[in-house]
């Protein structure tokens, strides 16, 4: 999947901008998503590691 | 029944290949979080070894750099460590450099020698950085065995190196004032941007391992600002590279997405590990991994030259195996250090 399918028929520049937009959205979603996971389970994971259980 | 629920393709990749890229992205993310460098210089050679054409490998790698740098810049922005004015001024040089680098790649592709030239450049680059890291780790060990009274009370993060002060003393107009109040020539800033952009566009790397030292030693900022601004520069190089290669329709979104899913998690774990693990304990492994990666890319080139697919497999195993080993070393040292510091009452984390 090259990203050109996102806006088939659009000019190459618009298709390239669409790819950048999709990757930026993915990056923000991953930053927020993993941040929430870290907040929720990070401390518990470190405690388990520390106690060797 | 269950088989029908398992997707046959994820964004154009088979589940096994998608999973492989997630794992590889995780390893790259751990390096990025721990060492402060993208590790993206491992992505392009891995894609080349897997048989992707050079423009696809470089374009996808640069788009991955853009995504990773965006995540890292968000973190450093929160800590106030990004000089956006300097980053914006470097943008022109970076753009021109990337354009030149990508034209070189497409020109070499027309001649049919892009993969060979990029591969050889990678062998040399990885070997050079590998030697630098290994030597610096060995020198640090020697220093540690010598005197322990090197601490002069100054915070190294706030220091501007002497060579940068000398360069700043040559006032070649137009001059500009940086966020920390120091002054630098626009020619120096554009030169650094152009040089880094050329390397990025030609090799498909973020160029952090060149850009961060260049900002610190040539333009002259504090180390913390150099790291934050370098990441912002990586975001811009990645965006320009993604746009340039995206226009040619050679970016594989499946590869980029899978790598990002892994690297965003790996970077969080790697960056948390820096609070517990002494970097000097693992730097030598990182240096050796880069030397093995250099050999792996060299073997990959030999495989194409001699038409021996077995060498291709060996090359891929060496690249993934060495990265996996160093990643495991960081996580192992991290787990041990967590046990030592959190398991013992009254102990503190590194740097606290």
Q: Which residues of B have a CB under 8 Å from any CB of A?
A: 11-12, 63, 66-68, 70-71, 74-75, 239, 242-254, 256-257, 260-261, 264-265, 268, 272, 335, 338-339, 341-343
Higher pLDDT, B178 or B141: B178
DSSP state of B23: H
Q: CA-CA distance, B127 to B131, in Å (whole number)?
A: 6
Q: CA-CA distance, B255 to B237, in Å (whole number)?
A: 19
pLDDT tens for each residue of B72-101: 888 777 767 788 888 888 888 888 888 898
Structure tokens, B287: 């240096």
From the list B11, B261, B265, the residue facing A1 with the nearest CB is B11
B74 chain-A contacts, CB cut-off 8 A = 28, 31
Q: In this structure, are residues B253 and B11 in contact, taking their beta carbons and an 8 Å threshold?
A: yes
Q: Which ipTM value was assigned to this complex?
A: 0.89
Whether B69 has a pLDDT exceeding 70, the answer reads: yes
Share of chain B above pLDDT 70, in %: 85
Split at pLDDT 50, 70, 90, the class of B347 is very low
* pLDDT of B320: 83
Among candidates B343, B240, B29, B86, which has minimal Cα distance to A47? B343
B244 chain-A contacts, CB cut-off 8 A = 16
DSSP state of B185: E
Mutation choice for B interface testing from A9, A27, A28 by most B CBs within 10 A = A27
- Give exposure, B49-86, as e/b (b: 16+ Cβ within 10 Å): bbebebbbbbbbbbbbbbbbbbbbbbbbeeeebbbeeb
Find the Cα–Cα–Cα–Cα dihedral B346, B76, B46, A13, rounded to 10°.
160
Structure tokens, B297: 């890319």
Domain boundaries, chain B: 14-141+156-342
pLDDT tens for each residue of B19-57: 989 998 998 888 877 776 656 667 887 888 788 888 899
* pLDDT of B146: 58
Q: In this structure, are residues A50 and B339 in contact, taking their beta carbons and an 8 Å threshold?
A: yes
* pLDDT of B236: 82
Q: CA-CA distance, B201 to B179, in Å (whole number)?
A: 28
- Reported as half-sphere exposure (CB side, CA atoms, 13 A), residue B224 has a value of 14
Find the Cα–Cα–Cα–Cα dihedral B199, B202, B207, B211, rounded to 10°.
20
Higher pLDDT, B75 or A30: A30
Q: How high does pLDDT run on average in chain B?
A: 79
Q: In this structure, are residues B319 and B303 in contact, taking their beta carbons and an 8 Å threshold?
A: no
Split at pLDDT 50, 70, 90, the class of B348 is very low
Q: In this structure, are residues B241 and B63 in contact, taking their beta carbons and an 8 Å threshold?
A: yes
From the list A2, A28, A46, the residue facing B338 with the nearest CB is A46
Mutation choice for A interface testing from B67, B78, B206, B236 by most A CBs within 10 A = B67
* pLDDT of A3: 64
Structure tokens, B7: 């997707």
What would the mean pLDDT of B266-286 be, rounded to a whole number?
77
Classify B13 as helix, strand or coil: strand
pLDDT tens for each residue of B292-346: 888 888 888 888 788 888 888 888 888 888 888 888 888 888 888 888 776 654 4
B343 chain-A contacts, CB cut-off 8 A = 50-52
**Which of A18-32, B52-66, B90-104, B123-137 shows the lowest mean pLDDT across its residues?**
B123-137
Q: In this structure, are residues B126 and B181 in contact, taking their beta carbons and an 8 Å threshold?
A: no
Closest-CA distance of chain A to residue B295, Å: 30
Q: CA-CA distance, B182 to B139, in Å (whole number)?
A: 32
Split at pLDDT 50, 70, 90, the class of B206 is low
Higher pLDDT, A25 or B200: A25
Chain B residue with minimal CA distance to A38?
B268
Whether B288 has a pLDDT exceeding 60, the answer reads: yes
Q: In this structure, are residues A15 and B246 in contact, taking their beta carbons and an 8 Å threshold?
A: yes
Chain B residue with minimal CA distance to A37?
B265
Q: CA-CA distance, B65 to B133, in Å (whole number)?
A: 22
Whether B224 has a pLDDT exceeding 80, the answer reads: no
Whether A23 has a pLDDT exceeding 90, the answer reads: yes
CA geometry: angle B199, B256, B81, nearest 5 deg: 60
Share of chain B above pLDDT 90, in %: 8
CB-CB under 8 Å, B251 with A19: yes
- Give exposure, B227-247, as e/b (b: 16+ Cβ within 10 Å): bbbbbbbbbbbbbbbbbbbbb
pLDDT tens for each residue of B148-181: 544 444 555 556 667 777 777 777 788 888 777 7
Q: CA-CA distance, B60 to A46, in Å (whole number)?
A: 34
Q: CA-CA distance, B101 to A34, in Å (whole number)?
A: 34
Structure tokens, A8: 């088939």
* pLDDT of B350: 44
Whether B279 has a pLDDT exceeding 90, the answer reads: no
B268 chain-A contacts, CB cut-off 8 A = 34-35, 38
Mutation choice for A interface testing from B52, B77, B251 by most A CBs within 10 A = B251
């Amino acid at each position: 999947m090259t990203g050109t399918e996102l806006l088939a028929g659009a000019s190459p520049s618009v298709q390239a901008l669409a790819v950048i937009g999709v990757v930026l959205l993915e990056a923000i979603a991953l930053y927020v998503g993993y941040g929430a996971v870290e907040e929720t389970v990070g401390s518990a994971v470190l405690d388990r590691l520390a106690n060797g259980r | 029944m269950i088989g029908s629920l398992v997707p046959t393709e994820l964004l154009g990749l088979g589940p096994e290949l998608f999973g492989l890229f997630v794992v590889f992205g995780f390893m790259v993310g751990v390096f990025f979080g721990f060492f402060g460098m993208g590790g993206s210089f491992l992505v392009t050679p891995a894609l080349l070894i897997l048989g992707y054409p050079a423009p696809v490998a470089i374009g996808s790698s640069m788009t991955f750099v853009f995504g990773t740098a965006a995540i890292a810049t968000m973190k450093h922005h929160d800590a106030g460590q990004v000089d956006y004015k300097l980053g914006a001024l470097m943008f022109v040089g970076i753009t021109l450099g990337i354009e030149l680098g990508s034209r070189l790649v497409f020109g070499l592709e027309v001649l049919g020698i892009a993969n060979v030239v990029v591969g050889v450049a990678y062998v040399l680059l990885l070997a050079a950085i590998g030697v630098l890291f290994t030597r610096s780790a060995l020198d640090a060990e020697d220093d540690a065995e010598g005197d322990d009274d090197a601490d002069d009370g100054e915070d190294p993060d706030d220091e501007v190196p002497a060579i940068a002060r000398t360069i700043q003393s040559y006032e070649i107009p137009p001059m500009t004032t940086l966020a920390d109040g120091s002054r630098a020539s626009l020619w120096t800033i554009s030169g650094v941007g152009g040089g880094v952009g050329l390397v990025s566009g030609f090799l498909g790397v973020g160029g952090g391992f060149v850009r961060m030292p260049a900002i610190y030693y040539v333009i002259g900022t504090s180390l913390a600002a150099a790291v934050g601004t370098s990441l912002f520069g990586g975001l811009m190089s990645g965006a320009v590279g993604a746009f340039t290669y995206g226009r040619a329709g050679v970016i594989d979104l499946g590869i980029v997405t899978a790598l990002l899913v892994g690297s965003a998690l790996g970077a969080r774990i790697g960056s948390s590990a820096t609070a517990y693990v002494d970097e000097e304990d693992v730097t030598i492994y990182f240096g050796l991994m880069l030397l093995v990666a250099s050999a792996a890319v060299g073997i990959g080139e030999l495989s194409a030259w001699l038409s021996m697919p077995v060498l291709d497999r060996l090359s891929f195993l060496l690249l993934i195996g060495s990265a996996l080993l160093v990643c495991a070393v960081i996580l192992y040292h991290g787990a041990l250090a967590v046990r030592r510091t959190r398991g013992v009452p009254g102990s503190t984390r590194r740097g606290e």
